[in-house]
Amino acid sequence: MPKRILVIGILFCLGGVLAIWDIITDLFQSSISLNFAVFLLPVGMGLLKGKPSSQKWARFWVILGYIFCVFMTSFVIVFPESASVRLAEHEIRGPEALPYALSLIALLAISLVVIHKLLYSEKALAYFNRSYK
């Protein structure tokens, strides 16, 4: 298994586990929440097993992440007074949060591009094509 797939698979599994944790903590606070990121867990497990279908689902989640970045960037630029960023225990709101919010969105977008490129690199494609023939 290429290291890139190992890292991406672990990141997807971690995202799914954190989503499950979020749902459980909400239940203990007498609140019900839907967090579709729980589906990252089976995608991550499939990536680690080398399933080509999981590679396609990972692409779906990455593209969804791109859409989220575009939407959030547009929203923050159009409504800068609604921007809010929490850094550790310090929360910044309003136009002062705009550079921080845009920086975090850019960091997420760059991370998604790297994951997308690595997921469809020659090594990754060879791994997925070889694993499930």
Predicted confidence at residue 88, as pLDDT, reads: 81
Tell me the pLDDT tens digit for each residue of 69-87. Answer: 999 999 999 998 988 888 8
Predicted confidence at residue 32, as pLDDT, reads: 86
Predicted confidence at residue 131, as pLDDT, reads: 55
Average pLDDT for 104-127: 94
Residue 73, domain extent: 3-131
Mean pLDDT, the chain, as a whole number? 91
Tell me the pLDDT tens digit for each residue of 33-43. Answer: 888 999 999 99
Per-residue confidence band for 48, with pLDDT thresholds at 50, 70 and 90: very high
The model's pTM is 0.84
The DSSP annotation for the chain comes to --HHHHHHHHHHHHHHHHHHHHHHHHHHTT-----GGGGHHHHHHHHHHT-HHHHHHHHHHHHHHHHHHHHHHHHHHH-GGG-EEEETTEEEEGGGGHHHHHHHHHHHHHHHHHHHHHHTSHHHHHHHHHHT-
Angle between helices 40-49 and 3-28 (to 10 degrees): 160
Whether 124 has a pLDDT exceeding 70, the answer reads yes
Place of tokens 């020659």: 122
Structurally, the chain folds into a number of domains equal to 1
Predicted confidence at residue 3, as pLDDT, reads: 92
